[in-house]
């Protein structure tokens, strides 16, 4: 294990765990430049990409100049500084059947960074407004368990959350079918929903969008509705990848609210990738109330959008696909992410996802045209 990268990882873990808000713009840039220098030196595949672009550590003055690699490059190249005998885990990206998956290699050390990163931001974004007494309330995970999906970053994330919260009785009700796709045990899922209602304990339900659609459709077909206890919430993530009918976010969240009996503000979205070690969560943001030509308020309410934000140790840029430069606030472009928690792979990743720049966050639009459908890391090996 490279001692310089290990030292950086240890310092970053301490920052995230104890002083995440201390990572302001200046410190982020300093850490990013340091990490770029280390990754250029110790990640041979990444170094070749940088050399081809004539972008070396000596030529870079700010983190926004650091080369980002296309997410698709993780399919073809071993973008890692870990030697083969140091790789104890690998996360594969998901997609439609027949696609070559991306590979994100991990060691025990890199997983430690990944876990402190995901937990710190999950705790702040998902649990922050819950009473302390609810922090140990039950969860329900609509994915297969870790032993069935060892190469899914989403499942690893859910298992980390389960262990961090000490939820030994919170189940995974998903299953892996013979063809490797994910299915849902409806009976077990409904049993857990009923148990939460009977005990009047808040429930946090987490899963990929397509599994949630399957559950909602099953409930509707059987005329079953729930009113989950106050404080319950749903976290959905990922795309549909041709595994269920496709719903716009507003439609999906309205169905969740109606079928499970929770308010719309208790439905959260997560944006993540197997190639990253940090996630973004959304918040509801209302625009200014429209004004008519005579200066009075219009009769219809302001538009409501959902803006995603990454934690202080990651940054998202919305860039023009034509020029690669950042777009202005309110304009649309591709999401480019620089994630300090990707210590042992590549911190800068260019996605194929479109978004509208919204201040220090972004409004997710979807996949760019001709890009492969993608969700979270849902496929098994």
**pLDDT at position 366 over 90:** no
> From CA 326, how far away is CA 341, in angstroms rounded?
22
Q: Which of 105, 113, 75 is nearest to 88 (CA)?
A: 105
Q: Indicate the helix (H) or strand (E) that contains 367.
A: strand 361-367
Burial group, residue 59, by CB count within 10 angstroms (0-12, 13-18, 19+): exposed
Q: What is the mean pLDDT of residues 94-110?
A: 83
Q: Indicate the helix (H) or strand (E) that contains 358.
A: strand 348-358
Q: What is the pLDDT of residues 175-209, one digit of tens each?
A: 999 888 899 999 999 999 999 999 999 999 999 99
Q: What is the mean pLDDT of residues 365-373?
A: 70
Q: Indicate the helix (H) or strand (E) that contains 176.
A: strand 174-176
Q: How many domains does one find in the chain?
A: 1
> From CA 112, how far away is CA 275, in angstroms rounded?
16
Q: Which of 332, 273, 336, 308 is nearest to 66 (CA)?
A: 336
pLDDT for 44 equals 97
User: Using 50, 70 and 90 to split pLDDT, how confident is the model at 374?
Assistant: very low
The answer to whether residue 381 is domain-embedded is no
Helix, strand, coil: what percent of the chain each, to 5? 35, 20, 45
Q: What is the pLDDT of residues 230-284, one digit of tens each?
A: 999 999 998 766 677 778 888 999 999 999 999 999 999 999 999 999 999 997 5
Quickly list DSSP for 233-258: EEEEES--TTSS----HHHHHHHHHH
Q: Helix or strand or coil: residue 348?
A: strand
The answer to whether residue 248 is domain-embedded is yes
**pLDDT at position 304 over 70:** no
Instruction: Give the helix ranges, DSSP H, for 181-285.
Output: 186-199, 209-221, 249-260
CA distances from 103 to 90, 169, 208, 290 (A): 6, 31, 20, 46
pLDDT for 378 equals 29
**307 alpha carbon, distance to own chain's centre:** 13
pLDDT for 301 equals 44
Tokens found for residue 166: 């000490």
User: Using 50, 70 and 90 to split pLDDT, how confident is the model at 286?
Assistant: very low
Q: What is the pLDDT of residues 20-68, one digit of tens each?
A: 878 999 999 999 999 999 999 999 999 999 999 999 999 999 999 999 9
The answer to whether residue 114 is domain-embedded is no
> From CA 14, how far away is CA 228, in angstroms rounded?
37
Domain that holds residue 219: 138-271
| Torsion sign over Cα 261, 265, 266, 271 | positive
CB neighbourhood size of 256 (10 A): 22
The answer to whether residue 189 is domain-embedded is yes
Model pTM score: 0.88
Q: Which of 87, 75, 113, 144 is nearest to 372 (CA)?
A: 75
> From CA 124, how far away is CA 180, in angstroms rounded?
34
pLDDT for 17 equals 93
**Lowest-confidence region among 121-125, 215-219, 225-229, 364-368:** 364-368
- For the chain, the residue count is 381
The answer to whether residue 21 is domain-embedded is no
The answer to whether residue 215 is domain-embedded is yes
> From CA 98, how far away is CA 264, in angstroms rounded?
36
Tokens found for residue 32: 């990013």
The answer to whether residue 47 is domain-embedded is no
- Rg (C-alpha) for the chain, rounded Å, is 21
pLDDT for 134 equals 56
CB neighbourhood size of 30 (10 A): 12
Q: Helix or strand or coil: residue 84?
A: helix
- 309, 297 contact by CB (below 8 A): no
Quickly list DSSP for 12-28: HHHHHHH-GGG--HHHH
Q: What is the end-to-end Cα distance of the chain in Å, rounded?
A: 26
Q: Indicate the helix (H) or strand (E) that contains 284.
A: strand 280-286
Q: Which of 271, 313, 343 is nearest to 16 (CA)?
A: 313
User: Using 50, 70 and 90 to split pLDDT, how confident is the model at 135?
Assistant: low
Q: Indicate the helix (H) or strand (E) that contains 277.
A: none
pLDDT for 287 equals 42
Q: Helix or strand or coil: residue 65?
A: helix
Tokens found for residue 284: 């509801």
The answer to whether residue 162 is domain-embedded is yes
User: Using 50, 70 and 90 to split pLDDT, how confident is the model at 127?
Assistant: confident
């Amino acid at each position: 294990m490279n001692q310089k990268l290990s030292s950086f990882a240890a310092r970053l873990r301490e920052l995230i765990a104890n002083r995440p808000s201390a990572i302001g713009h200046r410190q982020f840039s300093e850490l990013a430049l340091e990490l770029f220098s280390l990754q250029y030196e110790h990640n041979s595949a990444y170094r070749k990409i940088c050399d081809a672009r004539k972008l070396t550590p000596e030529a870079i003055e700010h983190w926004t100049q650091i080369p980002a690699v296309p997410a698709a490059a993780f399919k073809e190249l071993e973008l890692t500084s870990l030697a083969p005998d140091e790789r104890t885990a690998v996360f594969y990206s998901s997609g439609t059947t027949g696609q070559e998956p991306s590979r994100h290699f991990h060691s025990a050390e890199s997983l430690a960074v990944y876990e402190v990163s995901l937990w710190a931001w999950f705790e702040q974004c998902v649990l922050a407004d819950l009473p302390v007494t609810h922090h140990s309330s039950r969860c329900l995970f609509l994915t297969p368990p870790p032993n069935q999906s060892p190469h899914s970053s989403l499942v690893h994330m859910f298992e980390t959350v389960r262990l961090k919260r000490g939820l030994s009785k919170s189940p995974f009700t998903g299953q892996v079918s013979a063809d490797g796709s994910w299915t849902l045990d409806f009976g077990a899922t409904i049993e857990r929903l009923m148990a939460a209602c009977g005990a009047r304990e808040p429930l946090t339900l987490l899963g990929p969008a397509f599994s949630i659609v399957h559950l909602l459709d099953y409930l509707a077909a059987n005329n079953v509705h729930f009113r989950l206890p106050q404080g319950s919430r749903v976290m959905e993530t990922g795309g549909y990848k041709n595994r269920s009918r496709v719903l716009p976010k507003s439609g999906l969240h309205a169905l969740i609210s109606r079928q499970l009996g929770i308010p719309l503000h208790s439905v959260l979205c997560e944006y993540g990738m197997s190639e990253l070690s940090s996630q973004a969560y959304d918040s509801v943001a209302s625009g200014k109330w429209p004004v008519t030509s005579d200066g009075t308020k219009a009769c219809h309410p302001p538009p409501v959008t959902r803006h995603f934000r990454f934690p202080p140790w990651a940054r998202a840029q919305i860039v023009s696909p034509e020029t690669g430069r950042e777009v202005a606030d309110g304009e649309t472009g591709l999401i480019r992410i620089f994630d300090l928690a990707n210590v042992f792979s590549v911190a800068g990743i260019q996605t194929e996802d479109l978004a509208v720049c919204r201040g220090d966050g972004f409004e997710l639009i979807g996949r760019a045209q001709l890009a492969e459908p993608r969700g979270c890391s849902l496929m098994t090996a």
